[in-house]
Structure 1
């Protein structure tokens, strides 16, 4: 009986318009990335859908995830995680969500979430990025534009 109910639910999910299961994306906060880069989020660019969540996991100590000021779509909340703590962020609107590790921002420890169309890309490109973050931001923006 349980199998029949499960099969019915799964069948209904595939034919019901607009029914989707939200995904949880995992981003690791690391001292050293798989490519040898220092102070990095892996992955640094996440493609998500509205309704998905992104969980930032502190693999190495001394990191957090925080929205970059004015780096999220209009009307959505910025977040600021605690150092060494996991934080989960729900994606509430289409656009680009720029994030940083607060203590390592100038060292280029930044990343982006793109949900649907990057409607606020020009606004986030106007953010003043310090130090190495400027170079990393340029690379992320090029990657976003190449995918669109």
Structure 2
């Protein structure tokens, strides 16, 4: 389920979200936030980022994508969502909320900055069901920075799956 809301951007003063993920899924129906940013406030050399870049949630949880900087959106990547899940796409500078019901990995990008590596992942429940599909879809990504971040994040996702006993 996608809820669309347009809000004024909060520039500066916004609290930074954790870099990668929280320690594990909470109870269902929790609302999480992912910031769309020009740079990581903790490491300004990291540009065009989602924070957190990898977020683990429970089925039924929602994620609000917040435009913490101008000119960003969040949209699912073709081939990087579980079978039967609904793709999502926010407009530029738009805050959207997406409820994740289907277990699996959801890859998403910022359309204007996809070749600059602006990619992120939502991990829902036992997310390994579409891991191979996500791995294969990664071959279609464009941009050196995107490919580098994809490989880095995929290694982190695989480590999380192993830690959780999913593989």
Q: TM-score, normalised by structure 1?
A: 0.84
Q: Deviations over 1:117-141 (max 9, x none)?
A: 2210110111111111111111111
SS at match of 1:120: helix
* Deviation (angstroms), 1:103: 0.5
1:63 and 2:72 matched: yes
Given the alignment, which residue of 26, 35, 40 partners 2:43? 35
Cα distance in 1 for partners of 2:43, 2:60 equals 31
Aligned pairs for 1:5-84 within 5 A:
20-33=27-40, 34-36=42-44, 37-84=46-93
Structure 2 residue aligned with 1:87: 96
Structure 1 residue aligned with 2:24: none
Unaligned runs of 5+ in 2: 1-26, 162-167
Cα distance in 1 for partners of 2:159, 2:28 equals 27
Structure 1 residue aligned with 2:136: 126
Q: Deviation above 6 Å: which 4+ runs of structure 1?
A: none
* Deviation (angstroms), 1:21: 4.5
Structure 2 residue aligned with 1:5: none
* Greater gyration radius: 1
Unaligned runs of 5+ in 1: 1-19
Structure 2 residue aligned with 1:103: 112
The answer to whether the 8 A contact 2:28-2:59 is kept is no
SS at match of 1:99: strand
Cα distance in 1 for partners of 2:33, 2:113 equals 20
* Deviation (angstroms), 1:115: 0.6
